[in-house]
Amino acid sequence: MDNLQHIDDLLKKSAPSFEYAEVGANDWLAIEKKLKQRKKRIYALWFFLALVFVSSSILLINNTSSDKVQPLSVNEAITNEVDKTVNNAGKEDQAIKNDINASIDKDKELGSIQLKGDITINETAVTPITPLIITVSENEVQSLNTIPDEQSGLIANSKSTNSPIEIENAIEKADNIVPHKITDKDEDAAIAESEKPSVVLNNSDLPKSNNQGDGNNSKLDKNTSGYWELGFSFTPSISNKRITENSLLAGLIHVNYYDKAASSENSSFSNSAGINAQYHLPNGIFVTTGAFISQRTEAVNYDYSIDSVPINNNNEIVGYKPQAPVPVKYSGSNSYHFMEIPLNIGYKTPISTKFEIRSQVGMSYLFLFNQKGKKADFNDLSLKDVTNFALNKNNVAANAKVGMYYNGKHFTIGAEPTFSLNLNNLNVKESSAIIVKPYSYGFNISTNYKFIK
Amino acid sequence: MISEEELIERCKNKDQSAQKVLFERYANKMMAVCMRYCKNQEDARDLLHDGFYKVFIKIDSFRGGSRIDTWMTRLFINLALNKLRHGRNKYYHDEFEAKHETFTSSDETTSSAYKVEPNQVLDALNQLPDIYKIVLNMYAIDNMSHKEIAAELKISIGSSKSRLSRARVLLNAKLKRK
């Protein structure tokens, strides 16, 4: 303890008598206003969260219900029903066949039989066949077309203009089967159905399943396995940095470092470009990786003079030796180039037939391979080349992106705001009193080609 | 007069009239803290508003282990330090007077042979560079230990001691000139 203890005593004694600015009603009003604004913000936040929750739930429910039905293609559905019928056929006897004939006669009188999925069968085509139950999803109904009468006599009653799908194999099978017993209940239900006006589904506005592209392409629609997307990404962004002090070396920071040097370092424009690869699973989850050249930058605009030299002793500045002012004037942009390999996981939510929202989070490995520019030293404020600073070559960053994608037959084009933050310090901690963690926020533009089997 | 316990309880229940009473009871004391950690009245007033706003938001975390004004003072100090860290440009800093740093042994040994008014002490304190003023404030007036100061400022205990020592020298020199 030095003998300036009296300074502490003086401060303690004087502190209660310090004259302060008067605190008045206006101060309370300012605080009250802040508290009210907070309340409003909380209400707005809850409203927003509720909105997100409700809309996500609706999207999720819609997706789940279409996913449940979708894996069964029309042909598979027909084949399944036909197989069931064939299995049952052996158990039928002549009496049952008579019942069926009677039933068919009734159907003839009614003119048509309504099938599940709104597919009607013309009277002429139905004659040799018992009512055929086809279970199809709404999406599949959409891709059913008007099938030429000469092929099967089956007419899809949808007004869709999609291309034909092949179901003649199933019809052939159906021609050869011995029909199973139709109970009175089945028959009544069939009649009741046939009396209803045909319902025409217009599914063009319904969202497609997650991994599907253009609804016009039945090949894509039937794809239920994963697929790759490969393409280019470009992300213009703004780079900035978080600065903290290394507690072990904080004593070496020049007293004027923040005022003169750090305050002259600002955010700057930067970018990232490279090849982007994504693997999409049928359930909407996708994994992305790639190889990018990423740039992080800082704009510096130093204009000060150094009029003292720090006296360092045991990782502390113990004093400053005055010197003739040395001007420091430099404007420029320091850049740090990284090879970036991201690994993100994402989820996509279709919002229409053509558009979907993709969200992804993950980590990137960043290898620093180049650094350019000049920067002020935290200890003596002198201007140094950034190559003189010890920086970590291997870095890790966290990423998050949410954006809108146009989902074409073979291509996707996306635009998404992105945020990336270095998780480790760019400076080597052992040699720097200032710890820098760069971050960037930007707008990613991607275009990918779909590789679908 | 409403008791302190009841006042705190009502503040925890977001009772606005209780919040106003708490403000009126401690505003001057907290303004004193703000003035010691800020360079000017305007910044101090901003800090006062932000500090009380934070007090009312965080009062649930006050467990009654200490006096409410002690807890509030600590909260105001933390806020002031955060503001200094994140908004350095906003705060005015005096040009560093290097001649005070090249101290002589006479500076160290001279005892207090001067008489100063409390406001002269405040003026001199406010003229110190922030890194010294803060440590001196925390140690001498707010009774914080070097360990606590080091943790708050994210510096070593050695740095804290060294800054305190420098702060005393600088303040002594300033007061002697008055």
Question: Is A328 domain-assigned?
Answer: yes
* Min distance B156 CA to chain A CA atoms (Å): 6
Is residue A61 scored above 80 in pLDDT?
no
Are residue A151 and residue A188 in the same domain, yes or no? yes
Are residue B151 and residue B120 in the same domain, yes or no? yes
Kindly state the DSSP code that residue B95 receives in the 8-state scheme: P
**Of the residues B67, B90, B113, which one is the last residue of a structural domain?**
B90
Bridge partners of A266? A299
**Of the residues A149, A176, A205, which one is the last residue of a structural domain?**
A205
Start-to-end CA span in chain B (Å): 44
Is residue A280 scored above 70 in pLDDT?
yes
- Which residues of chain B neighbour A7 with C-beta distances below 8 Å? 112, 136, 140, 168, 171-172, 175
Are residue A240 and residue A376 in the same domain, yes or no? yes
CATH number for the domain harbouring residue B84? 1.10.1740.10
Nearest chain A residue to B28 by CA distance is A23
Question: Is A41 domain-assigned?
Answer: no
3-state secondary structure string, chain A?
CCCCHHHHHHHHHHHHHCCCCCCCHHHHHHHHHHHHHHHHHHHHHHHHHHHHHHHHHHHHHHHHHHHHHCCCCHHHHHHHHHHHHHHHHCCCCHHHHHHHHHHHHHHHHHCCEECCCCEEECHHHHCCCCCCCCCCCHHHHHHCCCCCCCCCCEEECCCCCCCCCCCHHHHHHHHHCCCCCCCHHHHHHHHHHHHCCCCCCCHHHCCCCCCCCCCCCHHHHCCCCCEEEEEEEEEEEEEEEEEEECCCCHHHCCCCHHHHHHHHEECEEEEEEEEEEEEECCCCEEEEEEEEEEEEEEEEEEEEEEEEEEEECCCCEEEEEEEEEEEEEEEEEEEEEEEEEEEEEEEEEECCCCEEEEEEEEEEEEEEEEEECEEECCCCCCEEEHHHCCECCEEEEEEEEEEEEEECCCEEEEEEEEEEEECCCCECCCCCCEEEEEEEEEEEEEEEEEECC
Are residue B69 and residue B133 in the same domain, yes or no? no
Higher pLDDT, A258 or A116: A258
Question: Is A51 domain-assigned?
Answer: no
Are residue B12 and residue B68 in the same domain, yes or no? yes
Are residue B75 and residue B19 in the same domain, yes or no? yes
Query: What integer pLDDT is reported at residue A178 of this predicted model?
Result: 47
Are residue A199 and residue A232 in the same domain, yes or no? no
Bridge partners of A402? A359
Are residue A397 and residue A258 in the same domain, yes or no? yes
ipTM above 0.90, yes or no: no
Is residue A157 scored above 50 in pLDDT?
no
**Of the residues A145, A172, A205, which one is the last residue of a structural domain?**
A205
Are residue B86 and residue B116 in the same domain, yes or no? no
Q: Which residues lie below 8 Å from residue B138, measured CB to CB, with a gap of 6+?
A: B77, B144, B148, B149, B152
Are residue A302 and residue A393 in the same domain, yes or no? yes
Are residue B131 and residue B63 in the same domain, yes or no? no
Are residue A148 and residue A180 in the same domain, yes or no? yes
- Report the number of distinct structural domains present in chain A: 2
Are residue A194 and residue A141 in the same domain, yes or no? yes
- Report the number of distinct structural domains present in chain B: 2
Nearest chain A residue to B176 by CA distance is A7
**Of the residues B55, B90, B125, which one is the last residue of a structural domain?**
B90
Are residue B54 and residue B107 in the same domain, yes or no? no
Residue in A16, A28, A251 nearest the CB of B155: A251
- Domain limits for position A262: 218-451
B136: contact with A, CB 8 A cutoff:
yes
Nearest chain B residue to A19 by CA distance is B119
Is residue A77 scored above 80 in pLDDT?
no
- Which residues of chain B neighbour A30 with C-beta distances below 8 Å? 49
Are residue A160 and residue A269 in the same domain, yes or no? no
Query: What integer pLDDT is reported at residue B154 of this predicted model?
Result: 83
Are residue B10 and residue B71 in the same domain, yes or no? yes
User: In the structure, what pLDDT confidence band is assigned to residue A44 with cuts at 50, 70 and 90?
Assistant: confident
> Among A184-188, A262-266, A342-346, B64-68, which is the least confidently predicted range?
A184-188
CATH number for the domain harbouring residue A278? 2.40.160.20
CATH number for the domain harbouring residue B113? 1.10.10.10
Closest CA to A361 of A271, A274, A411, A421: A421
Query: What integer pLDDT is reported at residue A187 of this predicted model?
Result: 52
- Domain limits for position B69: 4-90
How far CA A328 is from CA of A243, A260, A384, A389, B98, in Å, comes to 22, 10, 11, 18, 18
Query: What integer pLDDT is reported at residue A272 of this predicted model?
Result: 93
Residue in B31, B88, B141 nearest the CB of A20: B31
**Of the residues A205, A229, A256, which one is the last residue of a structural domain?**
A205
Are residue B166 and residue B109 in the same domain, yes or no? yes
Nearest chain A residue to B115 by CA distance is A10
> Among A308-317, B44-53, B102-111, which is the least confidently predicted range?
B102-111
Q: Whole-angstrom Cα distance, residue B168 to residue A313?
A: 20
Are residue A231 and residue A341 in the same domain, yes or no? yes
Cβ atoms of A211 and B117 closer than 8 Å: no
Buried/exposed code over A300-322 (b: 16+ C-beta within 10 A; e: otherwise)? bebebebbbbbeeeeebbebbee
Are residue A295 and residue A177 in the same domain, yes or no? no
The whole-chain average pLDDT of chain A stands at 73
Are residue A401 and residue A326 in the same domain, yes or no? yes
Query: What is the bridge-based pairing of β-strands A394-407 and A355-372?
Result: antiparallel
- The structure tokens listed for A143 are 């891709």
Question: Is A316 domain-assigned?
Answer: yes
Are residue A182 and residue A318 in the same domain, yes or no? no
Are residue B162 and residue B85 in the same domain, yes or no? no
Are residue B79 and residue B119 in the same domain, yes or no? no
Is residue B88 scored above 80 in pLDDT?
no
Are residue B118 and residue B84 in the same domain, yes or no? no
**Of the residues B33, B66, B90, which one is the last residue of a structural domain?**
B90
Is residue A83 scored above 70 in pLDDT?
no
Query: What integer pLDDT is reported at residue A218 of this predicted model?
Result: 39
- Which residues of chain B neighbour A251 with C-beta distances below 8 Å? 155-156, 158-159, 162
